């Protein structure tokens, strides 16, 4: 039959062809086509012949065509035909479809919908035909029957798409369908339908099928609905990530195992999807801009939804090769700092924590992206590196003007900017660990920044470099050329940068000989440089090398002060066989360093401070170093035993023209000798034992040193100040050469005394004679110290007020304090009595401890041995704290002060020390606070470290200081010590940070603080300030402080009286701390400051409310949260209004209180306005009525605040006009010299009345938006507002009357025939208003 049809078609005989086709039944025609198609013969030709014999002008032809179409669609989808054949058939059908009339197209389209519903699509080829049918249908003009009515083609197509998107799709055909919709012209609404349907299908698909579907969706988004597509993809993967996390967290049960998806598979799919999105964005710029726009708006509503690991990875991938990079990085940076600020804000307030139990942390999300990028996300790594550096540069530590950079690397980063910088470093370090290909790039960029940013602080880059080297020293060998390039620039860098850099790359020196050799070459050149900094850099580098290259036979140093080093490099490449080379190498370096001993004081100083560490780490160099020091000290030591003083001080200074410089820091040299000798005796001698080879030589220098120090001690005690040319009459001014020389001498002599004090105490072994020597040395030190203090006091010079830095080491200070205050051994009693008898010496010991702690707090390390070893410093801190705590609590200041002559009492010094220590420990040793508190608790010294309850231990310490504070308050007025009370309050607030706000102890402490404030009528302003600040800081962590503020405001009102003098304020004293002396300005300003903080919180909440309000998804959870927030905001504002209600009626003195109150009121009205705006917006978007709470709040503001504000403004203007008139009167008395005084009063009045117009404007804005809300909500809110009369330009009726009457009187006098009586009458009238005006003042 097929041949016959083909033959007839070829003969061009249409009638016969039509007859032949009509003779075939419905099924037969289909069979013919199927057979022809399966044989693979001329199927297309057969179809063409059939169409030729079925013209669309005849009904039968249309039906036959439809028959063919209906038969071909299942045939094509059956999968029996070759793909080439399928394409051929579909191509022909698509061409012919355009000729079908509308009703036939409609029938055909309905058939397709049924096929899709039935899920019988296999290869989706027939969908190409469906798209042609729908396109043709859309352009059809005829009316088509649909259901009971009729629709035109466009509407019919819309209904079909609607039906299609509402029906169930077979997951296998989703990709084909998405592809098909690209070829159909869709309206915006239809496209939205389609996109939402495809997105809903994501969850039903196998994970591997998602990327191609995403690609189709993205191509489809070229027509529109970009936001929906991006939002859907991001939220889908965000959900998957969350589910994956949950499954990892919850131990998997047997049932769950089926549901879990392999992590690596999920990550690879996410990576592919990101690549697809990036490739489409490269073609369609609008999609990229839509992505940023969408994430920005989403971030306002719910940052957790906007910035999830997937969306961050996507943004970073887009940023790499794109013009959107700047926009994306700005968005990410602001999101990071905002997230850090929000977290900080939440942590500071219990009220906010209750409203926002879940806290979103963007830093964790970004670090998760780094972790995920290990799964082959190479397209993300460049973005991560760029973001890391961008963060580190945008938020680097700032250098204060003219000062040294504030180095915060050792402290806790509290500020959002510091946290962002730290996050940048973490991103780079983690990326470095995960991705090998990019390592050399990161290293190069870090090194470049260390070199190029030499002027600004680079500590954060050096810390990063150090961490990078530690994480992979062997990997860095490949990049060693970059490191050696950096070394060439060492001599141009600041000394701090050089030391940091060398310390950072030190592990690399151990594994790479070439790097080490190039460094030595650079350093040897630098030693002869003209630049002082370059020579200092050389010394720093050589000392580092000496510390780290062990010579054979050196003792292993258990107390290694460098945290980095051989521990990281397991393969120590210069083991035994290389030790001989090390020795030659170290001796060569020592030779170079000896040359430095003839250079400037700064260079020598570095050597003296570094030798001890070298010795401790490389004990075989002991004899060389000791010999060097011996030859150096011999230049200044006078061996004749009867000569005084024992050292040549004039050799230590050098004159250049008029100026005098220190050439040899003699005290530092002696200090170095003392420490090295002590270490040598305690360590090397113990270990030599059988080895007697070098004994004699070593004993030689040891004896020389001991004899020398013994002789110097003896002669220093005998020396008078005149022997050093220093006595009370000497000149110590820093403006003259002699004065400078005397200052240098004095500091050297004091330093030498301190060094000898430490030496003699250590070797004395508690002998009485030695301790008498110690006291003798201290007498010499003290005399000089007193003279310097006295001279400094006269000169008022800033330099003189700084006490010279002590030469005692931190370890010795802790030993000395323990011996002086806590040593109860019988055998030591007699000798220690010598030292204990001198109060000055005890005070000196405590003040040195204070100085050391201060240095540790400011720089993270101290001078002297082990000063850079955090572990040793921590142990010494614990020892010192124990002693100071015992001394302060067991001997009260009152007892001590009775016998005190001058200077601070020891107890007070102890308290200051404790305050500094508690601060330092929280800054530097936050992780070790439990061990610190454990060490203070003398009762259970050996408790297990695992179960230390920080809150309990801190509460125990707090109780001790509470007792001291109560004693202060209960002492007689003469014995009350303001300075001590302030310090106690500060100590308590520092320790309170260690309490858990949810604990019972915290609540007890808060209750106690409230009680103290209520019962003690403190008149000392500073103490009152400290106590109230403590109260507020505790209260905000327990609950919102608004009710507390209201009570304080009532007390201030009662204390200062009302602005209307006729009103008697009822005295409701809640807090005795509020009294006539403290109420204004102290308490008033503190209350207003705290109220401002509450206003900030409320403002933050309103912003959150507005962003939640703009979220259209009406989930019950969101509405519940909105209601909770609204309730919180209104309650806070309501109570705050009552606080201001009290304050605006208070007769506050002119000045800061009035000024601050006016500004605070303006802010309150601004925040009330933004709340009203929020409700206007809410009324627009939903038909909600406003809550009753808001109505009450508006009523309260109308009755309790606005009228009082206007009265207060009048009161303020009155007190200012009084001060002006007072100034005027003074001016009349002394005309000549008071012009300046009155202009100052005028300027002050102008400045203080400046906030008034702002306040009036804020009130009027509030009322304006209330009118808007009244119209929107159909509730008359303005009924609670009284119209105000007080304005900037108000007319005072009585003054107007008087002016008019005066004018009339003048006119009357000018008329001669005027009646006298009327003039008198008018004069009477003139008098009356004047009285009124005076009364008003």
Q: Which of 412-421, 492-501, 668-677 has the highest average model confidence (pLDDT)?
A: 668-677
Residues in the chain: 1337
Residue range 186-227, pLDDT digits in tens: 777 777 777 787 787 777 777 777 888 788 787 777 777 778
Q: Judge whether residue 1328 has pLDDT over 70.
A: no
Q: Judge whether residue 1000 has pLDDT over 90.
A: yes
Residues 689, 687: Cα–Cα separation, whole Å: 6
Residue tagged 């030859």 (tokens): 631
H or E element, residue 610: helix 601-617
Q: Judge whether residue 73 has pLDDT over 80.
A: no
Residues 1203, 1189: Cα–Cα separation, whole Å: 21
Name the band, by pLDDT with cuts 50, 70 and 90, for residue 257. very low
Burial of 696 (0-12, 13-18, 19+ CB in 10 A): exposed
Residue range 1125-1138, pLDDT digits in tens: 888 899 999 999 99
Which stretch of 320-334, 571-585, 1020-1034 has the lowest confidence by average pLDDT?
A: 571-585
Burial of 820 (0-12, 13-18, 19+ CB in 10 A): middle
User: What pLDDT, on the 0 to 100 scale, is given for residue 600?
Assistant: 85
User: What pLDDT, on the 0 to 100 scale, is given for residue 1159?
Assistant: 93
Residues 1107, 1194: Cα–Cα separation, whole Å: 23
User: What pLDDT, on the 0 to 100 scale, is given for residue 1167?
Assistant: 94
Peptide bond into 814 cis (omega under 30): no
Residues 404, 384: Cα–Cα separation, whole Å: 31
Which stretch of 87-101, 435-449, 641-655 has the lowest confidence by average pLDDT?
A: 87-101
Q: Judge whether residue 669 has pLDDT over 70.
A: yes
Residues 1150, 1247: Cα–Cα separation, whole Å: 11
Name the band, by pLDDT with cuts 50, 70 and 90, for residue 686. low
Per DSSP, 1058 falls in state: B
Distance (Å) of CA 1310 to CA 708, 1210, 1314: 110, 38, 9
Specify the higher pLDDT residue, 1273 or 833: 833
Q: Judge whether residue 996 has pLDDT over 60.
A: yes
Q: Judge whether residue 798 has pLDDT over 50.
A: no
Which residues neighbour 820 within 8 Å (Cβ) at sequence distance 6 or greater?
A: 832, 835, 836, 842, 845
Strand partners, 656: 659
Is residue 529 within 8 A of residue 486, CB to CB? The reply is no
User: What pLDDT, on the 0 to 100 scale, is given for residue 1045?
Assistant: 93
Residues 275, 380: Cα–Cα separation, whole Å: 10
Distance (Å) of CA 909 to CA 819, 903, 905: 18, 10, 6
Residue range 871-915, pLDDT digits in tens: 999 999 999 999 999 999 888 776 665 554 556 788 889 999 999
Burial of 1036 (0-12, 13-18, 19+ CB in 10 A): buried
Specify the higher pLDDT residue, 1305 or 1029: 1029
Name the band, by pLDDT with cuts 50, 70 and 90, for residue 1321. very low
Residues 589, 516: Cα–Cα separation, whole Å: 13
Which stretch of 154-168, 766-780, 1019-1033 has the lowest confidence by average pLDDT?
A: 154-168
Residue tagged 């600041």 (tokens): 494
Is the C-alpha dihedral spanning 866, 870, 874, 880 positive or negative?
A: positive
Name the band, by pLDDT with cuts 50, 70 and 90, for residue 1335. very low
Residues 990, 929: Cα–Cα separation, whole Å: 13
Specify the higher pLDDT residue, 1074 or 3: 1074
Mean pLDDT of the chain: 78
Is residue 775 within 8 A of residue 713, CB to CB? The reply is no
User: What pLDDT, on the 0 to 100 scale, is given for residue 152?
Assistant: 61
Residue range 1173-1194, pLDDT digits in tens: 988 888 877 666 788 888 899 9
H or E element, residue 653: strand 653-656
Find the DSSP H helices in 250-321: 254-259, 263-283, 285-301, 303-306, 309-320
Specify the higher pLDDT residue, 740 or 1068: 740
Q: State whether residue 929 is helix, strand or coil.
A: helix
Residue 1165's Cβ-side half-sphere holds a number of Cα atoms within 13 Å equal to: 23
User: What pLDDT, on the 0 to 100 scale, is given for residue 1086?
Assistant: 93
Per DSSP, 654 falls in state: E
Helix crossing, 1202-1229 with 1188-1200: angle to 10°?
Answer: 20
Residues 1108, 1123: Cα–Cα separation, whole Å: 11
Residues 1307, 1318: Cα–Cα separation, whole Å: 12
Name the band, by pLDDT with cuts 50, 70 and 90, for residue 949. confident
| Share of residues in the chain with pLDDT > 90 (%) | 19
Name the band, by pLDDT with cuts 50, 70 and 90, for residue 1094. very high
Q: State whether residue 1190 is helix, strand or coil.
A: helix
């Amino acid at each position: 039959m097929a041949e016959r049809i083909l033959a007839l078609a070829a003969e061009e005989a249409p009638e016969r062809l039509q007859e032949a086709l009509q003779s075939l039944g419905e099924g037969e025609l289909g069979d013919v086509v199927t057979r022809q198609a399966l044989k693979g013969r001329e199927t297309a030709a057969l179809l063409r012949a059939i169409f030729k014999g079925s013209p669309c002008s005849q009904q039968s032809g249309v039906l036959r065509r439809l028959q063919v179409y209906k038969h071909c669609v299942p045939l094509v989808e059956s999968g029996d035909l070759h793909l080439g054949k399928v394409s051929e058939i579909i191509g022909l059908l698509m061409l012919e479809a355009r000729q079908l009339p509308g009703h036939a197209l409609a029938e055909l389209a309905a058939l397709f919908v049924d096929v899709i519903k039935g899920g019988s699509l296999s290869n989706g080829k027939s969908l190409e035909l469906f798209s042609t049918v729908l396109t043709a249908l859309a352009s059809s003009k005829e009316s088509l029957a649909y259901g009971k009515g009729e629709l035109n083609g466009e509407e019919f197509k819309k209904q079909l798409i609607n039906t299609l998107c509402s029906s169930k799709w077979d997951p296998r055909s989703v990709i084909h369908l998405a592809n098909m919709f690209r070829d159909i012209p869709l309206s915006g609404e239809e496209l939205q339908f389609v996109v939402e349907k495809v997105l809903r299908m994501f969850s039903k698909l196998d994970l591997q099928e998602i990327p191609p579907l995403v690609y189709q969706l993205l191509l489809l988004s070229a027509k529109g609905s970009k936001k929906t597509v991006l939002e859907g993809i991001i939220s889908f993967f965000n959900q998957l990530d969350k589910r994956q996390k949950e499954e990892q967290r919850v131990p998997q049960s047997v049932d769950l195992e089926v549901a879990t998806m392999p992590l690596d598979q999920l990550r690879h799919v996410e990576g592919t999807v990101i690549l697809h999105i990036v490739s489409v964005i490269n073609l369609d710029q609008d999609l990229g801009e839509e992505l940023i726009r969408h994430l920005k708006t989403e971030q306002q509503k719910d940052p957790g939804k906007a910035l999830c690991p997937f969306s961050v990875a996507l943004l970073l991938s887009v940023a790499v090769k794109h013009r959107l990079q700047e926009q994306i990085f700005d968005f990410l940076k602001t999101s990071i700092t905002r997230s850090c600020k929000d977290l900080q804000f939440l942590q500071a307030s219990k009220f906010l924590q209750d409203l926002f139990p879940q806290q979103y942390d963007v830093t964790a999300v970004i670090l998760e992206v780094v972790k995920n990028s290990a799964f082959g996300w190479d397209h993300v790594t460049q973005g991560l590196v760029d973001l890391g550096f961008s963060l580190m540069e945008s938020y680097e530590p700032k250098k204060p003007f003219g000062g040294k950079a504030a180095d915060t690397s050792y402290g806790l980063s509290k500020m959002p900017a510091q946290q962002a910088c730290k996050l940048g470093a973490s991103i780079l370090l983690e990326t470095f660990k995960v991705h090998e290909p990019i390592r050399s790039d990161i290293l190069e960029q870090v090194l470049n920044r260390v070199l190029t940013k030499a002027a600004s602080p680079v500590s954060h880059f050096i810390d990063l470099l150090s961490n990078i080297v530690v994480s992979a020293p062997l990997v860095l060998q490949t990049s060693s050329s970059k490191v050696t390039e950096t070394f060439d620039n060492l001599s141009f860098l600041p000394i701090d940068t050089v030391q940091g850099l060398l310390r950072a790359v030190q592990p690399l020196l151990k594994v790479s000989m070439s790097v080490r050799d190039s460094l030595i070459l650079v350093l040897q050149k630098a030693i002869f440089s003209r630049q002082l900094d370059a020579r200092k850099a050389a010394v720093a580098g050589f000392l580092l090398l000496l510390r780290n290259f062990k010579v054979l036979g050196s003792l292993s140093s258990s107390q290694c002060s460098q945290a980095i080093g051989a521990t990281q490099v397991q393969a120590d490449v210069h083991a035994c066989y290389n030790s001989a080379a090390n020795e030659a190498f170290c001796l060569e370096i020592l030779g170079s360093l000896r040359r430095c001993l003839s250079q400037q004081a700064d260079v020598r100083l570095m050597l003296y401070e570094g030798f001890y560490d070298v010795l401790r780490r490389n004990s075989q160099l002991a004899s060389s170093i000791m010999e060097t020091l011996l030859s150096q000290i011999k230049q200044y030591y006078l061996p004749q035993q009867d000569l005084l003083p024992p050292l040549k001080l004039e050799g230590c200074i050098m004159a250049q023209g008029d100026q005098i410089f220190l050439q040899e820091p003699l005290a530092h040299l002696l200090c170095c000798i003392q420490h090295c000798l002590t270490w040598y005796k305690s360590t090397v001698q113990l270990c030599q034992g059988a080895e007697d080879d070098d004994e004699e030589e070593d004993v030689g220098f040891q004896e020389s040193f001991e004899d020398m120090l013994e002789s110097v001690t003896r002669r220093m005690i005998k020396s008078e100040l005149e022997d050093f040319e220093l006595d009370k009459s000497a000149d110590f001014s820093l403006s003259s050469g002699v004065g400078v020389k005397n200052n240098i001498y004095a500091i050297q002599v004091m330093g030498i005394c301190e060094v000898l004090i430490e030496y003699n105490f250590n070797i004395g072994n508690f002998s009485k004679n030695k301790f008498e020597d110690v006291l003798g040395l201290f007498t010499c030190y003290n005399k000089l110290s007193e003279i310097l203090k006295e001279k400094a006091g006269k000169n008022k010079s800033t330099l003189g007020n700084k006490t010279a830095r002590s030469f005692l080491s931190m370890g010795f200070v802790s030993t000395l304090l323990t011996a002086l205050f806590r040593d109860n051994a019988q055998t030591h009693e007699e000798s220690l009595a010598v030292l204990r008898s001198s109060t000055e010496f005890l005070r000196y010991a405590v003040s040195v401890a204070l100085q050391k702690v201060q240095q540790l707090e400011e720089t993270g390390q101290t001078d002297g041995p082990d000063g850079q070893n955090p572990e040793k410093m921590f142990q010494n801190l614990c020892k010192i704290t124990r002693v100071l705590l015992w001394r302060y609590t067991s001997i009260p200041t009152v007892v001590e002060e009775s016998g005190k002559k001058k200077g601070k009492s020891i107890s007070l010094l102890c308290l200051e020390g404790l305050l500094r220590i508690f601060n330092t420990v929280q800054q530097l040793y936050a992780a070790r606070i439990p061990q610190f508190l454990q060490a203070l608790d003398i009762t259970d010294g050996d408790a297990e470290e695992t179960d230390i309850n920080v809150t309990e231990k801190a509460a125990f310490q707090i109780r001790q200081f509470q007792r001291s504070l109560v004693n202060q308050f209960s002492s007689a007025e003469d014995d009350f010590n303001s300075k001590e009370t302030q310090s106690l309050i500060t100590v308590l607030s520092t320790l309170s940070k260690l309490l858990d706000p949810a604990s019972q102890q915290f609540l007890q402490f808060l209750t106690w603080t409230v009680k103290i404030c209520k019962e003690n009528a403190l008149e000392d302003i500073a103490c009152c300030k400290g106590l109230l600040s403590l109260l507020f800081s505790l209260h905000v962590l327990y609950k919102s402080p608004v009710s507390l503020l209201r009570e304080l405001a009532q007390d201030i009102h009662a204390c200062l009286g009302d602005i209307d003098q006729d009103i008697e304020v009822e005295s409701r004293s809640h807090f005795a701390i509020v009294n006539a002396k403290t109420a204004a300005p102290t308490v008033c300003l503190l209350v207003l400051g705290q109220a401002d903080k509450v206003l900030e919180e409320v403002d933050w909440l309103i912003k959150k409310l507005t962003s939640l309000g703009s979220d259209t998804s009406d989930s019950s959870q969101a509405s519940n949260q909105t209601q909770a927030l609204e309730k919180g905001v209104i309650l806070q504002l309501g109570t705050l209004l009552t606080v201001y209600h009290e304050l605006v009626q208070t007769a506050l003195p002119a000045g800061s209180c009035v000024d601050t109150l006016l500004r605070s009121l303006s802010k309150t009205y601004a925040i009330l306005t933004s709340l009203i705006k929020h409700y206007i917006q809410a009324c627009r978007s939903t038909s909600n009525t406003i809550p009753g709470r808001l109505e009450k709040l508006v009523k309260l503001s109308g009755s309790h605040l606005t009228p009082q504000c206007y009265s207060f403004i009048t009161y303020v203007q009155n007190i200012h006009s009084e001060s002006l008139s007072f100034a005027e009167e003074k001016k009349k008395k002394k005309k000549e010299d008071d012009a300046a005084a009155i202009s100052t009063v005028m300027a002050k009045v102008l400045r203080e009345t400046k906030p008034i117009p702002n306040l009036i404007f804020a009130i009027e804005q509030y009322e304006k938006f209330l009118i808007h809300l009244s119209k929107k909500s159909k509730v008359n809110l303005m009924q609670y507002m009284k119209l105000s009369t007080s304005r900037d330009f108000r007319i005072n009726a009585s003054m107007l009357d008087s002016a008019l009457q005066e004018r009339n009187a003048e006119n009357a006098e000018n008329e001669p025939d005027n009646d006298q009586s009327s003039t008198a009458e008018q004069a009477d009238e003139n008098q009356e208003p004047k009285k009124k005006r005076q009364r008003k003042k």
